[in-house]
Amino acid sequence: MKSFPRRSFLKGTAAAFAAAFLHNQAVTRAFAEAGSGQKPNIVLILSDDVGYGDIGCYGAKLPHTPHIDGLAQCGRRFTDAHSDASVCTPSRYAILSGMYAWRRQDAQILPGDAALLFADRQTTLPSLLKQAGYKTGCVGKWHLGLGRGEIDWNKEIAPGPREVGFDYSFILPATADRVPCVYIENQRVVGLDPHDPICVDYKKLVGDDPTGQDAPYLLKMKLSHGHDGTIVDGVSRIGFMTGGKKARWVDEKMAATLAGKATAFIDENHEHPFFLYLATSDIHVPRMPNEQFAARSQCGVRCDVIEQLDWTVGQVLETLERHKILDNTLILFTSDNGPVVDDGYADGSVEALHGHTPSGSLRGGKYDLYEGGTRIPFIAYWRNRIPAGVSSALISQTDLLSSLAALAGVAVPRGSLFDSQNMLPALTGLSENGREVLIEADVFQRTAIRRGRWKLLDLNKPGADKTGSPAHRDEANCELYDLLADPGETTNVAAQHPDVVKALMDKLEQIRGGASV
Ligand code: NG6
Ligand code: CA
């Protein structure tokens, strides 16, 4: 195994920035020279709702996750990596745009017929990699909007992944629990019969398909809250749809369908540098594992779909190995937000946990501002290139844009992309240093700031000024935790450290006001 010089990664002064820049150039060059000369492939596996404690290498006893654990064992496992937000749409927007999503009021959980969040020609992670000569593919959950208003699902659906920078796409428009329950491959609904057109509405019933509200006796899985719209494949969803009967997906086959499209993309592109963004639907609700995984995990259906997710990772690894490109492929495995056990379907997950703790020892989960909401599993694996180990560097998924652009040797245009920091040295094990400051957001776009051991949660709701700032500064409605002494955020120490509260609040206000960190 080749080792790389570990150099200190200076920060702070102008000289230090110059040194850091040269260092990053050196990292990129070192990787390019040490390899075949070809730029490395990048596979980003973004799982859905997988918590910090859900995977074996993060402490889970059940379910079994041998493939993901293998990535961690031979790669770099991060213990302080964060999604931008504790829900999906903003978290994914931050990854692909390199911007903190709470800067945009509209980057919140979207309905399936929402307009695309990205502007025309906006710089994105895939557009930069494309510029660097990569073939770019997006397979799986999208949930970032499509079109510019009314969508006609029976025609070409654009703008979407193609305009965001993906050469190839095979997507679920939103989530598995939202209509329309059809796949879109390269701008067209897959398997659509023109005589059975699709119509979608999120406000009123369309067509005469039964709904969860009117015909609960038709359901193969009961709902616990929400999810009382159109019944598709025995499961009622959010929103209403009619038509497209032959095009509708089968939940139990989704993992295999997505894995098949992802591996086919690798098969087709293994001779060029490629970027594969594989956004699994696992382990989001409705949890409908294939029969191969049903009741396999011994801790309920939520754990079954974690084992199914692990199988997907195995499929990707096998394909890379078959093409003999594992030594030239960076694989990143992570999750879009923290875990939830009952997310609207009575699927027995709560009852079947048997001591499994999806957030590990962290407080909270999906939707929350506490660590369980945004501290997520994050593993970087690159065989014979990234040294095995565990890193406590503070990193944000927002950093992927700058880090992967640096790896691909493409410049990130200046402008509004300053939220994304180049963490390539930390990702590749050349440095132990992460960010100095990081912002996290919850489902209400409330924000928390991390600096070193301290985390300040501003629990005031953002006002209408679109900056993510509440109308008034109110330190009384903030909480402060010392994550070094109290990683489970059990004791609010704001009253004991008013100076820390003030300093962090000042910094948070500055960043929300548009400053870089
Ligand atoms: C919520 C849904 C939840 C899930 C979430 C989005 C209800 C009651 N709850 O509104 O089931 O779909 O949105 O999840 O409808 S995410 O991971 O895509 O952010
Ligand atoms: Ca999610």
Q: What is the pLDDT of residues 300-352, one digit of tens each?
A: 999 999 999 999 999 999 999 999 999 999 999 999 999 999 999 999 999 99
Q: Which residues line ligand 1 (CB under 6 A)?
A: 48-49, 87-88, 109, 143, 175, 177, 225-227, 238, 284-285, 337, 343-344
| Length, in residues, of the chain | 517
How would you classify the pairing of strands 199-201 and 231-232?
unpaired
Same domain? For 473 and 399 the reply is: no
Handedness of CA 6, 8, 10, 16 (dihedral sign): negative
- With vertex at residue 375, the alpha carbon angle to CA 372 and CA 381, rounded to the nearest 5 degrees, is 140
Residue 498 placed within a domain = yes
Domain boundary pick from 370, 398, 427: 427
Protein residue with its CA nearest to atom 16 in ligand 1: 88
Same domain, 142 and 73: yes
Give tens-digit pLDDT for 230-260: 999 999 999 999 999 999 999 999 999 999 9
Using the 8-state DSSP alphabet, how is residue 58 labeled?
A: G
Tell whether 13 is covered by a domain. Answer: no
Give the H/E segment covering residue 448. strand 447-451
Taking a 5 Å cut-off on Cβ, the residues next to ion ligand 2 are 48-49, 88, 336-337
Q: What is the pLDDT of residues 179-211, one digit of tens each?
A: 999 999 999 999 999 999 999 999 999 999 999
Looking up residue 134, the CATH number of its domain turns out to be: 3.40.720.10
Tell me, yes or no, whether 310 lies in a domain: yes
Residue nearest to atom 17 of ligand 1 (CA): 88
Do residue 483 and residue 341 come from a single domain?
no
Listed residues 395, 427, 459: the one ending a domain: 427
The closest residue, in CA terms, to atom 15 on ligand 1 is 226
Pair 306, 358: CB distance under 8 Å: no
**6 assigned to some structural domain:** no
- By DSSP bridging, strand 168-172 and strand 184-185 are antiparallel
Asked whether residue 127 falls in the same domain as residue 159, the answer is yes
The answer to whether the beta carbons of residues 146 and 180 sit under 8 Å apart is no
Tell whether 169 and 280 lie within a shared domain. Answer: yes
20, part of any domain? no
Gap between the Cα atoms of 39 and 329, Å rounded: 9
Whole-number Å distance between alpha carbons of 429 and 433: 10
How many domains is the chain built from? 2
Q: What is the pLDDT of residue 28?
A: 55
Asked if 455 and 308 sit in the same domain, the reply is no
Note whether 326 and 372 are same-domain residues: yes
Which residue, by CA, sits nearest to atom 7 of ligand 1?
A: 226
Q: Is residue 34 very low, low, confident or very high in pLDDT (cuts 50, 70, 90)? A: very low
List pLDDT tens digits, range 388-437.
Answer: 999 999 999 999 999 999 999 999 998 777 899 999 999 999 999 999 99
Is the Cα dihedral 28, 34, 37, 43 positive or negative?
negative
Domain extent for 331:
60-193+253-285+293-427
The string over 84-121, giving b where at least 16 C-beta atoms fall within 10 Å of a residue's C-beta and e elsewhere, is bbbbbbbbbbbbbbbbbbbbbeebbbbbbbbbbbbeee
451 shares a domain with 422: no
For ligand 2, the distance from its centroid to the CA atom of residue 49, given in whole angstroms, is 4
Ligand closest to Cα of 174 equals 1
Do 422 and 501 fall within a single domain?
no
456 strand-pairing partners: 449, 480
